[in-house]
């Protein structure tokens, strides 16, 4: 069995300040982990993924995430928020088995000017 907990349903930051979106997971297997972003009225787009290679993963638009097995975490960070980062972010875990993906409940990121 696998599950994902996104610790914050809403995060608000000022433009130019760092972003931290928190994600904890549980999995019976060695997981693959993803972050997807959903802009308003759009589909989901892959930001980055961890698949048991380097624990620090770099994604698109300056985002990165660090896989910490001891803490079962996969937090998403960005050094400096931009207005265009305002969106909903989903942490996703995938393990062995055929159902592929389990989604977290999402974190809505607001960026204030």
* Closer to other proteins by Cβ: residue 10 or 82: 10
Helix-then-strand count for the chain, H and E: 0, 12
The one among 13, 21, 25, 32 contacting other proteins by CB under 8 A: 32
Residues 10/88, Cβ–Cβ less than 8 Å: no
CA dist 45 and 61 (Å) reads 12
2 binds other proteins (CB under 8 A): no
Site string for other proteins, 67-106 (x = CB under 8 A): -----------------------x---xxxxxxxx-xxxx
Q: Which of 69, 81, 70, 61 is nearest to 21 (CA)?
A: 81
- Sites of contact with other proteins (CB under 8 A): 4, 9, 32, 34, 36, 42-46, 49, 51, 90, 94-101, 103-106
């Amino acid at each position: 069995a696998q599950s994902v907990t996104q610790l914050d349903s809403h995060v608000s930051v000022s433009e130019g300040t760092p972003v931290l979106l928190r994600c904890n997971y549980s999995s019976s297997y060695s997981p693959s982990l993803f972050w997807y972003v959903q802009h308003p009225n759009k589909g989901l787009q892959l930001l980055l993924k961890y698949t048991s290679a380097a624990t620090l993963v770099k994604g698109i638009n300056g985002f990165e995430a660090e896989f910490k097995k001891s803490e079962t975490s996969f937090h998403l960070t960005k050094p400096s928020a931009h207005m265009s980062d305002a969106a909903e972010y989903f942490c996703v875990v995938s393990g062995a088995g055929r159902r592929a993906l389990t989604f977290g409940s999402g974190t809505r990121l607001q960026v204030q000017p």
